[in-house]
Amino acid sequence: MTSYTYITTYNFTQTHLHQYDHLQLYPNTPTPIPHTLTTAPRHPHLHHIHLPTTVSKHPPAVVGLVPTHTHTHLQSQFLHLHLLLEEEEEEEEEEEEEEEEEEEEEEEEEEEEEEEEEEEELKQSMKMKNERRKNRKK
């Protein structure tokens, strides 16, 4: 006889994923609810994600029975989601670093421009002084 795994899914946020408990095995359960009927919270990168948990600790949003061979499928989906979230965080960090670098470059350019302007002003003032001296000598 095929054994089935009792799973529940519950809501999660993109930034914080609940750790989930090991699936509970019920070997003598009745005919399972088809796998397609178990729905789960949406994530932008995945069509479905099933996060298993024990009934005692979390009130289930959706309860269903699926064959035990899907346990690895559930784990792989969870891992895939976790990796996607890590990638998103890394991309955000890279974008922030790039923005900071761009800002620093802009600040450096502005400082260089200001220094050049100051040098130009100094040159102009020196020219004016030299012209005045020449005019005085005449």
Classified as helix, coil or strand, 57 is coil
Q: Tell which residue, 84, 8, 16, has the closest CA to residue 50.
A: 8
Per-residue pLDDT for 53 more than 90?
Answer: no
Classified as helix, coil or strand, 108 is helix
Looking at the chain, the whole-number percentage of residues with pLDDT higher than 90 is 27
What is the rounded distance in angstroms from the CA atom of residue 31 to the CA atom of residue 20? Answer: 25
Q: Quote the mean pLDDT of the chain.
A: 64
- Give the tens place of pLDDT for each residue, 76-96: 666 667 777 888 888 999 999
Residue 125: what pLDDT? 92
Residue 113: what pLDDT? 94
Question: Counting runs of H as helices and runs of E as strands, what totals does the chain give?
Answer: 1, 3
Which of 15-19, 20-24, 45-49, 86-90 shows the highest mean pLDDT?
Answer: 86-90
In the chain, what are the domain boundaries? 4-85
Residue 42: what pLDDT? 46
Per-residue pLDDT for 106 more than 70?
Answer: yes
